[in-house]
């Protein structure tokens, strides 16, 4: 998987926002799974156009001629909320929010901006992202509450916000930042606007995610930890001492976290034992489960009853990728693979 960092904007555009948190998707859910009543929502892109799928049926979000992507999703009742970005006719990326396919512009299009994650708390809609600073080529992190921007103040040169969650009156945002004299970014979080670091400059920030279970806040972050570009992943409950995923391999690249009762699930990319092939995986309390074949990646997951749904992509021969989700390890392909398809967020609704 391409390493996502603030040093590479192209990698940022390709792999951002995997993180993805909604008010319902990763919370504890004690419903018993029934395949006849499960509705599977997924969001991401196909052919560099933002889409979401409901039980495999596609709904286009990106409508312009430029590229677009949907990075996050929340389902509330019958309403489908998506966030992402779309290139405007001037060649700049506009942060966007879609409700049931109807777009709202979060930024005016004068500077590149991206919406990466969404969390809905009652009637309030929170969206995390970043916008390029005026006259510069670096980003300032922010979130939007009901469309009104809230700047996440930081002295760093380049800052992005990749995930957001709300517990009571507290707003948590996770992301990464890099000072001008730093070679690599570090993982950070904000609680009600106050910033703290989760990693240091001995590693390079890669991916982050945040979720809530009841009143508990779980954060996950992966970092590049050696000169070979390999990843390691940690997660923390309520900012306690982080747990390092150790599955006997030197590569464990987490992208998303979900919690069910006392079990913590992390989706991502790892390697096969005694191999260097990158494959999609998830870890349950640190124990790995292999999902796809070579050149696949898991970007999100949702736990519904006893079923585990993991969304991502699988590379296809000749180039391109197909958007895929795995239900209890069995792959369900939802795009043809002729375009660059991927699922960035998956959500399962039981009725």
Domain spans in the chain, listed from the N-terminal domain onward: 9-350
CA 223 to chain centre: 15
pLDDT score of 265 more than 50? yes
| Residue % of the chain over a pLDDT of 90 | 80
pLDDT score of 16 more than 50? no
What's the pTM? 0.90
Region 321-335: mean pLDDT is 96
Please write the tens of the pLDDT for every residue from 21-41: 344 334 433 333 444 588 999
| Residue % of the chain over a pLDDT of 70 | 89
Q: Judge contact between 40 and 55, C-beta under 8 A.
A: yes
Question: Domain 9-350 carries which CATH code?
Answer: 2.120.10.30
């Amino acid at each position: 998987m391409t390493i996502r960092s603030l040093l590479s904007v192209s990698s940022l555009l390709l792999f951002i926002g995997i993180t993805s948190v909604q008010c319902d998707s990763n919370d504890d859910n004690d419903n018993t799974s029934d395949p006849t009543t499960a509705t599977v929502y997924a969001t991401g892109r196909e052919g560099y156009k933002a889409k979401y799928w409901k039980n495999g049926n596609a709904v286009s979000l990106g409508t312009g001629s430029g590229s677009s992507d949907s990075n996050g999703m929340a389902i509330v009742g019958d309403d489908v909320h998506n966030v992402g970005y779309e290139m405007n006719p001037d060649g700049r990326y506009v942060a966007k929010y879609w409700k049931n396919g109807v777009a709202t512009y979060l930024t005016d299009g004068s500077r590149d901006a991206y919406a990466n994650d969404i969390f809905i708390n009652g009637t309030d809609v929170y969206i995390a992202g970043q916008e390029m600073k005026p006259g510069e080529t670096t980003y300032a992190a922010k979130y939007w509450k009901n469309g009104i921007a809230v700047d996440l103040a930081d002295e760093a040169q380049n800052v992005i916000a990749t995930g957001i969650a709300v517990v009571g009156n507290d707003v948590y945002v996770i992301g990464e930042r890099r000072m001008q004299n730093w070679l690599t970014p570090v993982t950070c979080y904000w609680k009600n606007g106050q910033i703290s670091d989760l990693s240091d400059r001995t590693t390079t920030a890669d991916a982050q995610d945040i979720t809530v279970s009841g009143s508990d806040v779980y954060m996950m972050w992966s970092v590049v930890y050696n000169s070979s570009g390999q990843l390691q992943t940690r997660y923390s409950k309520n900012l306690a001492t982080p747990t390092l995923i150790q599955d006997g391999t030197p590569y464990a690249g987490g992208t998303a976290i979900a919690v069910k009762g006392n079990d913590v699930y992390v989706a991502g990319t790892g390697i096969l034992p005694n191999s260097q092939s990158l494959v999609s995986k998830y870890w349950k309390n640190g124990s790995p489960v292999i999902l796809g074949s070579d050149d696949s990646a898991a970007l999100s997951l949702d736990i519904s009853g006893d079923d585990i749904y993991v969304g991502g992509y699988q590379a296809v021969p000749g180039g391109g990728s197909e958007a895929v989700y795995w239900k209890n390890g069995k792959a369900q392909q939802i795009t043809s693979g002729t375009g660059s398809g991927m699922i960035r967020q998956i959500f399962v609704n039981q009725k």
